A = this chain, B = another copy of it.
């Protein structure tokens, strides 16, 4: 028989907390709960849970700060809950170091599936984080979701096309590394080609337009004169 995992759920809304408790205990996990960030930190230190589910909007030390604090001293996987603001796809908190996220209101099956996936990954890996394995690639306040092929910058969802995603995946997977236009082309398009630098350039521009606050003076996706592009 497998061992029983302990999950720490932190949310200031007792209703959400009870839903979480119900679903997770129903699925066979042991659940401990906290209703604010401080309590979550204290419980995390004491109970050594196998997984933490945390709302990012909580009174006192909010979930974002709590996530970062826990992360400093513990390698436990953290799943973030965030409310979907009216109309906009605003998702905060991915930059705090979470391993996965769920937008409220969420569905039972999705919650359980993510919990299961996180536990499996961190269990088999012996809680060692391997780069390249993770779903979320984080560089600064830009987060790439490999599973859904989605991007978040400054907490907001940003739509990417397939090519744009490919380029960003390459650059963000190797932050600080410079790639020439030719190299980007050959690795994203999987084919050699002549005189296509401009094609890559246009895509770089489009990515900057979407991810950078001021595309003219990019903060992350920079050019290295005569060499190529870096993401940092």
A interface residues (Cβ-Cβ under 8 A, vs B): 15, 18-19, 22-23, 25-28, 71-75, 107-110, 112-113, 128-131, 137-140, 147-149, 161-162, 173-178, 224-227, 232
Q: What is the count of identical protomers in the complex? A: 2
Asked if A176 and B110 sit within 8 Å, CB to CB, the answer is: yes
Asked if A225 and B161 sit within 8 Å, CB to CB, the answer is: yes
**A26: which of B75, B107, B161 is its contact (CB, 8 Å)?**
B75
Asked if A226 and B161 sit within 8 Å, CB to CB, the answer is: yes
Residues A27 and B72 in contact in the complex (CB < 8 Å), given A178-B148, A225-B161: no
Query: In the assembly, what is the distance between CA of A134 and CA of B74, in Å?
Result: 35
User: Can you name 8 A-B pairs with beta carbons within 8 Å?
Assistant: A26-B129, A27-B129, A110-B175, A147-B177, A148-B178, A149-B224, A149-B227, A162-B225
On chain B, the residues within 8 Å of A27 by CB distance are 128-131
Asked if B107 and A131 sit within 8 Å, CB to CB, the answer is: no
Query: In the assembly, what is the distance between CA of A22 and CA of B70, in Å?
Result: 11
